[in-house]
Chains A and B, each alone.
Chain A
């Protein structure tokens, strides 16, 4: 751990102060705004901690998917954000063109996108992630 607070630690600490000291002092009609701010800060902390790895592994999965259906774009030397945008657009086009319609490809597509979606829900709202229930029949 570094000696000096990083961005995530600063936001997390600021959020604690908001919840402990400011929220109880807010008038009732401002409480909702206070809670929204706390929620936004919690998302920012999680994204700061998990976002980079999530984006890198998403890019890797999208590249695999495109390789599997022979729809890979030229390997870009762009920074990860641009590369991700390109990969997502290529997967969108391949999906629309039915390149993943084959049952095996489709299964692979859904599984890869699910992995990415789980990573993002772990940042945006981890409470919405399903545990074992996800695998249980309805």
Chain B
């Protein structure tokens, strides 16, 4: 390696350990880490940008990678890195736009935690930018169609799948199981939340007959996918994936709480609802009914409210004092308000 490049080699103990590990995985004699930096965001997972030069072997060349590992305090509801790696592999193999997973490391001796390495896709993700800066999304309808079609590809993955045996089996009645889980969680808190109880009651009474059970992403929304030159390059953050009712993902993607700067554009603040559902239908062969979408949008607000309460608890009771977590707790008020707006609309 020329001397001028050598100075770019990151030789911290962690980067060096990663280089040695990658030599094994990539069947190479010389792997050098040229960049290793923590990426911003991710209260639950830690992501690191990882660039490597591989001198020999089947992976010879330079690689732009992302290393994904658990944040020091993980949330119970999320998958382990090994489970997420398995899901990502199945999804990627099924043609879903997602980063290609490369190697999993369960040996905690390398960097002290389980992690996996995946290819780094180009594009930007922040929802407040994608919904505000028209230059980033020149054709919102086309992007929404692609997002709908891509989601339908995820939903085409159905149990049983041997490599996904690591996931919990699907609940017999996903909506009611979720409602029971949320009530159980709320019962453990100091305060009562009448607005959330009201929405839960409605969802319980109006729970729909069971639908197909498929793989669901459970965090498929603006802010969790990359857009490069207006095009979808990949969906990120698979840590909540599991088997469930595919309508849950449709409600989550279109819920008002995930439209950022453009609440009037129902498809994730990117476009109107129709192109998104058109794209979905073009692959799935079915289209969600308006009443079902309303139901799952209400469930989306409930779910986000429960997660926000969990984040608030980490700050208030979990010994993890953090302004960001405290402010996330205050979002509960908005979610109660939006849930009630939806209930009022549905009744009208």
Contact = CB atoms under 8 A, between A and B. Distances in A.
5 contacts: A39-B327, A89-B192, A110-B343, A110-B344, A125-B334
B307 to A, nearest CB: 17
B191 interface: yes
B340 A96 contact: no
A138 B347 CA distance: 13
Contacts of B326: 40
A92 interface: yes
Contact of A120 (B186, B336, B343, B344): B336
A100 B194 CA distance: 12
How big is chain B's contact interface, by range?
Answer: 20 to 34
A120 B337 contact: yes
B44 to A, nearest CB: 18
- Could you say which interface size class chain A belongs to? 35 or more
Contact of B192 (A92, A134, A138): A92
Given A36-B327, A96-B197, 20 more contacts: A37-B323, A88-B194, A91-B192, A91-B194, A92-B186, A92-B194, A92-B197, A95-B198, A95-B201, A96-B183, A96-B201, A106-B347, A110-B340, A117-B340, A118-B337, A121-B334, A124-B331, A125-B331, A134-B341, A137-B348
Nearest to A111: B344
Interface in A48-102: 62, 85, 88-89, 91-92, 95-96, 98, 100-101
Contacts of B343: 110
Contacts, number: 88
A107 B345 CA distance: 11
B176 to A, nearest CB: 14
Nearest to B186: A92
List the 8 shortest-distance A-B pairs measured between CB atoms, nearest first: A117-B337, A88-B192, A92-B192, A120-B333, A124-B333, A89-B192, A91-B194, A95-B197
A113 B337 CA distance: 8
Contact of A128 (B191, B323, B324, B334): B334
Contact of B333 (A36, A40, A62, A125): A125
Nearest to B344: A110
Given A96-B183, A120-B333, A88 B198 contact: no
A113 B323 contact: no
B161 interface: no
A123 B198 CA distance: 22
A121 B201 CA distance: 22
B224 to A, nearest CB: 19
B329 to A, nearest CB: 10
A30 interface: no
B187 to A, nearest CB: 9
Contacts of A113: 194-195, 198, 336, 340
Contacts of A109: 198
A130 B330 contact: no
Contacts of A107: 347
A43 interface: yes
Nearest to A43: B330
